[in-house]
Amino acid sequence: MLDKVLFYFFAGIAVASAALMVTRRNVVHSAIFLITALLATAGIFLQLRAEFLFIVQIILYVGGIMVLFVFVIMLVNLDVALQQIQFARQKWVALIVALALAGQVGVMFWTSGKMPGQGLPVLTAVAANRLPLNSEAVAKSLFDSYLLPFEIASVLLLVAMIGAVVMAKKRA
């Protein structure tokens, strides 16, 4: 019962603030609603007892959106941006994409109702104290089972970072 209420609470906040994020004119307000949506998603992770995902979501997005804020404040001329008409060019494309997505989700729900055991996987609930500790579980799967892909991904990120630094540096 409690879980259900919490889920609808967080999910409602996430959906509402995501909608507000794309409809606000002011870019800073959009950023605020973006972080609200992400925090609400973190809340859903917590409600699913994935506390490691919850905190990683918060820590990463705090840093990430912080930088976004700085960019918005420094690069976007807010007074000018507020007066322009925005988001009007891709109306029809957006409508088609949204309809396609809605259709896809609808079909998935419909088939999952028709064919038991084949559509959406239904997980059985486990008591919270019998779940494996999940920061340990994440560490084990990253550094044990998937060590090579993990290392490849981190080398890729490192290359991207060094590339950015080299490109940003002035030629002496």
Question: Does residue 16 bind another protein (CB under 8 A)?
Answer: no
Is 66 among the residues that bind another protein (CB under 8 A)? yes
Instruction: Choose the binding region for another protein from 52-60, 85-93, 114-122, 153-161 (rule: CB under 8 A).
Output: 52-60
Q: How many helices (H) and strands (E) does the chain have?
A: 7, 0
- CB nearer another protein, residue 96 or residue 139: 139
Q: Helix, strand or coil for residue 26?
A: coil
Residue with tokens 């000018």: 80
If one asks whether residue 74 binds another protein (CB under 8 A), the answer comes out as: yes
Q: Which amino acid is at 1?
A: M
What are the residues whose beta carbons fall under 8 Å from the beta carbon of 76, sequence distance 6 or more?
27
Q: Report 123-162 residues binding another protein (CB under 8 A).
A: 133-135
Using the contact rule CB under 8 A, the part of the chain among 14-22, 29-37, 85-93, 162-170 near another protein is: 29-37
Tokens of 90: 């891709």
Per CB under 8 A, residues contacting another protein are 1-2, 4-5, 26, 28-29, 32, 35, 51-52, 54-55, 58-59, 62-63, 66-67, 69-70, 73-74, 133-135, 172
